[in-house]
Amino acid sequence: MTKGAIFDLDGTLLYTLEDLKDSVNYALSQFGYKMRTLDEIRNFVGNGVGLLIERSIPDGADNPDFSECLRCFKEHYEKNMYNKTKLFAGIDEMLTSLKSHGYKIGVVSNKFDLAVKELCKKYFAEKIEIAIGESNGVRKKPAPDSVLKVMKILGCTPEKTYYIGDSEVDIETAKNAGLKCISVSWGYKDRDFLKKHGAKIIVDKPQEILDILK
């Protein structure tokens, strides 16, 4: 029976926070709004770029500049998402080992689909078999839709599949999809936050994911 490991992207496999901050602040600057700090962006991410901009711009989605600011962010991020982004230590080795142990690997993210696919192609190439981001007409996490789609494509069952992420959204996603969840402490939410939001398994290093899945 096929074994599956489905990962969140931002804060789990890749450190993306600074590029997100730079693109948010570029977009905000085009409309004369104040810049956001790295800690603010850390608290705003996890629910898709629409909510990222909604949380960053004064008055949120009610702001008349909201749609244009979101468009500006996306255009800037598409051209600048590799500037400071990097793999967390040990991720490449962990994915390689999972592949060698027969795991099918997928990514499900609330980042917009184009960016998810481009980032995975650049940083993971053949290691990840399918990557899905936010797109029109598909409910984003914590809805299980994209995770269930990836499982079907990979040929995995809930009993043999883990979902791995760094946030409360990922914990809820795994629950809604009927999967076991592994929460990582090196991402954008700390261990206490994860415990408070129902994390049952928390790892501090990618190697620990291997220990659990093997």
Burial of 208 (0-12, 13-18, 19+ CB in 10 A): middle
Q: Active-site residue among 8, 10, 166, 170?
A: 8
Residue 142: cis peptide before it, omega within 30 degrees of 0: yes
**φ, ψ for residue 182, nearest 5 deg:** -115, 125
- CA separation (Å) from 147 to 30, 98, 109, 179, 210? 36, 19, 9, 10, 21
- CA separation (Å) from 100 to 90, 97, 103, 104, 181? 16, 5, 7, 10, 21
Residue 170 is among the residues annotated as catalytic for this protein: no
Beta strand pairing call for 86-87 and 14-15: antiparallel
Q: Which residues are catalytic?
A: 8
